[in-house]
Structures are given as structure tokens and as C-alpha cells.
Amino acid sequence: MATLRSMYVVLRGGYTFTTDETWQTGLHFLLVNDASTPDNVGDLPTVDIVDEDIHRTETDWTIMADWSAHFGVGSDFHVDDWLNDQIGNELRNVVFPRASNKVQLRTIHAWPVGTDGLVVGGHTAVLSYTGSLPGGSHTGNPLPLENSPVVSLHTGRIGRHGRGRMYWPVLPTSDIDAAGKIDHTSRDDLRDTFVTFLEDIAVTGGLGHSEWALPIVTGKGTGKYAVVTEVAVGDIMDTQRRRRRQETEAYGTAAVSY
């Protein structure tokens, strides 16, 4: 039976004004069965993968999945239920309104990741939004697509394997102050919203069950994890060049004569 060490979740979308470019960002999750709270820093467990054939049509999305995680007798993590019951609504209704209204949310992908840091056996699970695609609520002309606010993920592990980041979609110019930085109200709103988002999409063991799904930072193939314990958002925009590589550029040219 195939096994996983973590789950990698990627959020994907596009823009209302172009079909040439898309955006995505992601984070890892610790999947574990533990009667007590898992350590904030530790070794990734080995969890069995069960083959599934799941096709669900819900009111606002469809879900297709070919895997679930099996911890033992009577203990499982059903990725389709997690997509449907937790992250689907939470992403659309809580955190995504912090984006520009020119940004669209299209899919959420969840993959089982193995010891080598790669997707196991081509398995996947995907929630695809249907009907009117969710969009951000911040109005105003968007900044260039490669400009991205960064949500930094802090943990209890020292060093680069204890730090993560998520590149949020482009903001509108209305969120930028006179110095060209993210205004502090928008910065702090994004920070606080992400705290709520991470808390609400986590699965925490409790009465009657001991399954956990916690946001973590991990390095490819390290076998180690660190639970995200703090979120930070700065007021200086980062640049992600790959977010404009597909855009068609319109040039204005003029001859020079002497």
C-alpha cells in the first residue's frame, strides 16, 4: 500500500480581465492520528493511502478525489469531506474577500506527498468552483500581476525549514499608501484573516476522534515538520515574475529621427 508523509494543498485562480495568466499559492498539512496534541516540531508520520473513486456535485462546486488517508481501524482522513466541509467555504467566504475584485478563485487541489517530497502515485483531489466564480471584494484598478503581498508562516523551528510563505493574489491600488506600500489597515486585515483561515481549516482531535490536519512548514524530502504558530504580513510588496510570463504585452513605439 502506498504511503504519504504530508498533504500539499494549492489554491488556484485567474483574473476577470485576462485569460492569459493565472495565480496559485499553497501550503502543507500534517496528517496524523494522535490522542494528544501533536508536537509543534517533529518527524512526519507515515500514513497509508487508500484508493478512492469520488465524484461529488455540490451546490457551489464539484469534487473529484482518488485518495484518502487511513490511520488504522476506524480512523481516516477523507479529503473530499475536508474540501467540502471546511476549506471550500472558508476560502471563499472568509479569506478570499481580502483579494482584489479583479481576481477569481477557481480550484483547490490536495495531493498526498511521499518521502521524496513528490506526489504519490499521481493521486489528486480537486474542488472546482461552479457557476459564478468567487472573487475578491477590494475595488480599484489592480497592481501589476507580479506584485504580491506575502503571508509569512512562522514556526518553532529555527532556520529556513522553519519558515514558509504564501504569495497572495494581486491587490488593488486602493490598498496602497502614498509611499507605495500596503496600507497598514489592509496589511493587518489580511494578517488577521489568515489567522482565522488557518485555524478554521485545521482538523483538531477532540471528543470521539483523534485525527489531526494542521498547517505546517516542511522541506522537500526532509521528513521533518513544524506547525505554523504565527502569521506575519509586511507592508512591502514582493515580486513574483512567473505571474506575468503569459501576459501579452502591448507596445507603444515611436520612430527617432535626427
Instruction: Assess if residue 253 is contained within a domain.
Output: no
One-letter amino acid for residue 55 of the chain = H
Bridge partners of residue 219, in order along the sequence: none
Which DSSP state fits 223? Answer: -
**Cβ(7)–Cβ(113) under 8 Å?**
yes
Which DSSP state fits 221? Answer: T
Instruction: Assess if residue 256 is contained within a domain.
Output: no
Instruction: Assess if residue 146 is contained within a domain.
Output: yes
Cell of 213: 490536519
Boundaries of domain holding 8? 3-244
CA pair distance 139, 150, nearest whole angstrom: 20
43 phi and psi, to 5 degrees?
-95, 135
State the DSSP H helix or E strand holding residue 213, giving kind and residue range, or none if neither: strand 211-217
Instruction: Assess if residue 54 is contained within a domain.
Output: yes
Instruction: Assess if residue 49 is contained within a domain.
Output: yes
Instruction: Assess if residue 121 is contained within a domain.
Output: yes
State the total domains in the chain: 1
State the DSSP H helix or E strand holding residue 212, giving kind and residue range, or none if neither: strand 211-217
Instruction: Assess if residue 255 is contained within a domain.
Output: no
Q: What is the pLDDT of residues 111-148, one digit of tens each?
A: 999 999 999 999 999 999 999 899 888 888 888 888 99
Task: Provide the pLDDT for residue 229.
Answer: 97
Instruction: Assess if residue 139 is contained within a domain.
Output: yes
CA pair distance 68, 124, nearest whole angstrom: 10
Q: What is the pLDDT of residues 100-113, one digit of tens each?
A: 899 999 999 999 99
Q: What is the pLDDT of residues 141-162, one digit of tens each?
A: 888 888 999 999 999 998 888 8
